[in-house]
Structure 1
């Protein structure tokens, strides 16, 4: 036998030995088998990841030619990522998923999982990403969620979760930077939130109560605040707009009744504010005009009165302004129509005088004068 043939034979033997050595631990295999067994086989088409899981070969041993083509990732002999394709899998989530103790990522989004999220999933010690969005999970978020000490991303949006947010558990998730629980059936107040949150989305639930400063006190890195389509009420306090890193705020479609806006810090990065479809009364807040980065402001369909602040025409950053659906009076600032300020939005459905129909800002007609007079009855009278 030649030297070259001997080297090749030795290489093949070593490769076979290495491949054979990579044998997935039995508890992981048991968990994967259970996961697949909890899913209706009629919802596992031949082209999907789960269809390739037939367990005639070892899940973590390469090469993956015909079996375990996708849906999981291994590090050595342990499953570290579970990322199912959005194939419409229907079933419940096996509680034995907790045996995959080296999992870093779980992503089951855009399928048809239903039933409660197994409590055992909250015992995974290394989990950093948990994405269960766009399924039909129900039940509550248990206090045991606080055990996910390494969690960075939590997305359970577009499900049917109910109950209140666990009041003392979320703060224990000190590594969490992204939290999305939008489009569920969550109720109650907003509790104290994890201090390192960057993106917070609780849109389209039934959250109620006031915006309490203690819930947001430590959120110095928050950039996106999405609380629209809830039942939050009371005053929108000035500190909301002064959160150090805040860039986008959406509090639309709630029942807020008033607003406080103080002067911004010199380092304010606030770009977009949407407070539309509330019950905010009083005058349009002038101080929005001095936020140095503000490009989009929506105050539409509230109960604002008085004149449009002329200061809104002096900002060089504001490019979108929606004030329609209020009870604003007087002449709209002529600078909006001079061509110098390129601004889009709407001033319609108010009580304005001489809003030029040639402008896109005035496409919606103004309210009938009788409605305007009724709105100002006992208050400042609008001038005809």
Structure 2
């Protein structure tokens, strides 16, 4: 069929409007709604649900204010006098069934099917949604792999939420094709394989791939505009690359807990220009390297290095960090005495000298010995400071001291077996 002049197209649209009476929805969009509705299990469409109001005996966009087609989508675009659907949202509705493999909604900007019971794979036809900005399939029962075609979604896509499904296989490198993606959520699936380098996602600020089965080493770099990165509860191994965060100068939250990471903690983690929360608990780290200037320019507010295999003395520089208020070093192999600076920071007044006091200082489950620093003895229960020193090798730390409770001290035999220098 050859090219039709615009006047002919207008005549065709006029004939369609006359033939269908008051119809204002493009026929292609109506067909897409029908295909989607036919894929939904009728047993999951209750009489009072949104889909129960979809009655195709009337025009969808022309009936949104009546008793039919009361919800579920929006018709915000008008092209040549015909309405086009821009949003399809049926989140937390409890629908089940499969997703249609045919998506002919070229003006759709938002597709949100969060927290339903849709099964099957992610349709490759989503790549036809050329104006899509937000795709949320969170909290369903989708399975199979993330298709490479996801990387062919339009450059307009800003949010891709596939979390809490049953997706398997590797994270496709084709995601690098989503040049304007800002938020990527893949957590709570069964994704495996190595985590790909996604450095071409220059607009990405939020990335969560926690609670999967991702293995292998960490990539050497991450997207440059990341603000929050979470890869907790996977099977990552190896060392943290020394230049891991060199490219991510805006990062504020880093969570790599519950993995199998080993080696030393790079000092750059403690001197990053914007990092505020560092969570590396439940790994197999062995040493903490002292940063330049003892981290006195650090922005860190909370550090959790608990449940690792870290040896040596407690890192004194952590007591000098001006903004650090929550520190957990529990259940490691630290030995030696508690630094006086830790104690001074715990009893400091808010804002005194421009330094934030410790609100939480958790040091239990190590091999610390010696006397409790004098300043800590000033603290009383209810002071607002949470301190835990139990299960160490400290002298005179009875359970009657509130910060010694939660675990008695180790036996002298166990302490000397680990640290012979204990008198």
Superposition TM-score, scaled by structure 1 size: 0.85
Deviation at 1:189, TM superposition (A): 1.2
d(CA) in 2 for partners of 1:55, 1:242: 61
d(CA) in 1 for partners of 2:231, 2:275: 16
Q: Deviations over 1:34-75 (max 9, x none)?
A: 656666555555555556566666666662643271267754
| Contact map agreement 1:72 1:84 (CA 8 A) in 2 | no
Q: Which moved more, 1:123-132 or 1:338-347?
A: 338-347
Cross-structure match for 1:6: none
Say yes or no: does 1:187 pair with 2:187.
no
Choose the corresponding residue for 2:327, options 297, 316, 336. 297
3-state SS in 1 of match to 2:109: strand
Choose the corresponding residue for 1:218, options 244, 247, 250. 247
d(CA) in 2 for partners of 1:261, 1:52: 64
| Contact map agreement 1:71 1:82 (CA 8 A) in 2 | no
What residue ranges of structure 2 are gaps of 5+ in the alignment? Answer: 1-16, 79-83, 85-106, 349-356
| Contact map agreement 1:271 1:296 (CA 8 A) in 2 | yes
d(CA) in 2 for partners of 1:46, 1:345: 55
Paired residues for 1:1-384 under 5 Å: 23-24=25-26, 26=28, 42-43=43-44, 45=46, 63=64, 65=66, 66-67=68-69, 69-70=71-72, 75-76=77-78, 77=84, 78-125=107-154, 126-167=156-197, 170-191=198-219, 192-262=221-291, 263=293, 267-315=297-345, 316=348, 317-339=357-379, 342-363=384-405, 364-377=407-420, 381-383=421-423
Q: Deviations over 1:311-354 (max 9, x none)?
A: 10222311101111111101121322313875213100111111
Deviation at 1:360, TM superposition (A): 2.4
| Contact map agreement 1:71 1:85 (CA 8 A) in 2 | no
TM superposition outliers: structure 1 runs of 4+ over 4 Å:
19-22, 28-62, 71-76, 264-267
3-state SS in 2 of match to 1:171: coil
| Contact map agreement 1:219 1:243 (CA 8 A) in 2 | no
| Contact map agreement 2:147 2:172 (CA 8 A) in 1 | no
What residue ranges of structure 1 are gaps of 5+ in the alignment? Answer: 1-15
Superposition TM-score, scaled by structure 2 size: 0.78
Deviation at 1:186, TM superposition (A): 0.5
The number of residue pairs the alignment matches comes to 361
Q: Aligned in 2, Cα 1:264/1:283: closer, same or farther, shift over 3 Å?
A: closer
RMSD: 2.7
